């Protein structure tokens, strides 16, 4: 049988949960910082060798590294480089998440234009087709959330796929009611809706995402496993869970045996596998993330392909793109 690493290198891959803020190589940020007359806090190669004690520390560091991107052209270059890096490891399609609160130097309309330009340029030069969601922060107001959605409507492009929300639920507490109107408006406009839940919150955060925000899919969602009735619902409704094993083991499950990936797969949950914040995880590739998940949860090759098929169905893409992704995966499946 073909070695697992070779199989995963060949496997056509799809990624739905990766933060663009956490894909910027240290060398690229060093170039940007020098243009501003600034220096990185550490050498480019050691920039991400830092210990974030909790999610709040991590989010604060994201604010700092994003500040080194000083122009819209530089932001477009970040998107272009991401698309090219995806292509190099056989990613067929990716949806990146960007939270405008980390980028106060750019108004949201400028962010949308820059990312669209960068992803267009990347695909034109051999990069993977990419789209993006804009993410609210849980610290924002209802008015700010609605303003972002209206900007998304006014500045919509073929790369802007949906609305997200992230942030530290353990600090902010429940926020679903505050953001319900924004998510309803996004749904009316035809945007996909994804919610970070079941990471810094427990099962109650997952329920809030489903019942108040009407999430089409969940980023993380792993702590739903603490509530058997909720798992039954997720399986029954086939709500996609964009799980990030390496990230969870770094920040959430200090005892790896507690991670529920295998239990969720056995229950029949709709699971996708993703990197979350790759630069903070040793420049993690999606191929390596899949290898770790396969070994950690004793996943079969059929299950690994199945996770890619789930991602194709969960993607906020056109029907034509989805059909193309599923056909490519079906063709690959026949070669196994």
Indicate if 144 belongs to the active site.
no
DSSP secondary structure letter of residue 276: B
**Residues comprising the chain, all counted:** 336
Record the tokens describing residue 177, joined without a space. Answer: 């009611």
Q: Any long-range contacts for 222-230 (C-beta under 8 Å, 24+ apart)? A: 222/198, 222/248, 222/252, 222/259, 222/260, 222/261, 222/264, 223/198, 223/199, 224/198, 225/260, 225/263, 225/264, 226/202, 227/202, 227/203, 230/203, 230/206
CB 274 within 8 A of CB 289: yes
Q: Any long-range contacts for 61-69 (C-beta under 8 Å, 24+ apart)? A: 62/19, 62/21, 62/22, 62/102, 63/102, 65/21, 65/24, 65/29, 66/21, 66/102, 66/103, 67/105, 68/29, 68/32, 68/33, 68/36, 68/38, 68/40, 69/24, 69/29, 69/32, 69/103, 69/105
**CA–CA dist 295, 97 (Å, integer):** 27
Kindly name the residue from 74, 199, 208, 289 that is annotated as catalytic: 199
CA-based nearest residue to 275, from 237, 304, 244, 239: 244
Place of tokens 């193309």: 324
Residues annotated catalytic, as ranges: 199
């Amino acid at each position: 049988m073909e070695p697992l690493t070779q199989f995963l290198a060949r496997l056509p891959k799809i990624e739905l949960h990766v933060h663009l803020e956490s894909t910027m190589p240290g060398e690229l940020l060093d170039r940007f910082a020098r243009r501003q007359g600034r220096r990185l806090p550490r050498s480019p190669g050691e920039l991400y060798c830092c210990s974030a004690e909790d999610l709040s520390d991590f989010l604060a560091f994201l604010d700092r590294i994003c500040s080194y991107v000083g122009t819209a052209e530089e932001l477009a270059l970040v998107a272009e480089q991401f698309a090219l890096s995806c292509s190099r490891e056989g990613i067929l399609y990716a949806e990146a998440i960007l939270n405008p609160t980390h980028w106060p130097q750019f108004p949201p309309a400028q962010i949308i234009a820059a990312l669209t330009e960068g992803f267009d340029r990347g695909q034109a030069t051999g990069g993977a087709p990419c789209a993006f969601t804009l993410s609210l922060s849980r610290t924002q107001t209802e008015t700010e959330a609605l303003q972002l959605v209206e900007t998304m409507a006014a500045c919509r492009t073929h790369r802007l796929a949906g609305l997200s929300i992230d942030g530290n639920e353990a600090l902010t507490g429940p926020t679903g009611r505050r953001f319900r109107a924004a998510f309803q408006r996004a749904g009316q406009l035809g945007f996909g809706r994804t919610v970070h839940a079941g990471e810094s919150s427990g099962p109650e955060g997952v329920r809030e995402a489903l019942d108040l925000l009407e999430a089409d899919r969940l980023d993380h969602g792993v702590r739903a496993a603490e509530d058997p009735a909720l798992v039954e619902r997720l399986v029954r409704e086939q709500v996609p869970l964009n799980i990030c094993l390496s990230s969870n083991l770094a920040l959430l499950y200090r005892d790896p045996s507690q991670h529920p990936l295998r239990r969720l797969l056995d229950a029949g949950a709709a699971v996708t596998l993703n990197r979350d914040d790759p630069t903070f995880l040793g420049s993690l590739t999606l191929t390596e993330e899949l290898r770790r998940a396969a070994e950690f949860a004793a996943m079969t090759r059929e299950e690994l392909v199945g996770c890619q098929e789930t991602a194709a169905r969960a993607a906020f893409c056109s029907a034509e793109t989805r059909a193309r992704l599923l056909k490519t995966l079906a063709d690959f499946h026949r070669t196994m």
